[in-house]
Amino acid sequence: RKSIKESARLRLREFDVGDKFSRLPLPKASVLLPLTVRAGKLHLLLTVRSMQLRRSPGEVCFPGGKREAIDKDDIDTALREAKEEVGLQPEKVEVICRLVPGIDKMNHVVTPVVGFIEDTFQATPNPDEVSDVFVVPLEYFVKPLNYKTLPYKTSSGYSSWMHCFTYEDHERKMSFKIWGLTAHFAVFLALVIFGKRPTFEVEYDLDNLISSSENNFMNLYASIYERKKSNM
CA distance 232 to 227: 9
pLDDT-above-90 percentage for the chain: 81
Which pLDDT belongs to residue 1? 55
At residue 228 the predicted structure's pLDDT band, cuts being 50, 70 and 90, is low
Dihedral sign of CA atoms 207, 213, 214, 218 in order? positive
DSSP state of 77: H
In terms of Cβ atoms closer than 10 Å to its own Cβ (0-12, 13-18, 19+), residue 131 is middle
Tell me the per-residue pLDDT of 87-114, one tens digit each, with 9 for 90 and over.
Answer: 999 999 999 999 999 999 888 999 999 9
pLDDT band at residue 156 under the 50/70/90 scheme:
low
Q: Domains in the chain and their CATH numbers? A: 4-231 (3.90.79.10)
Single pTM value for the model? 0.95
Question: C-alpha distances in angstroms, 68 versus 62, 78, 85, 189?
Answer: 18, 11, 15, 25
CB 226 within 8 A of CB 219: no
pLDDT at res. 92? 97
Tell me the C-alpha distance between 169 and 137, whole Å.
11
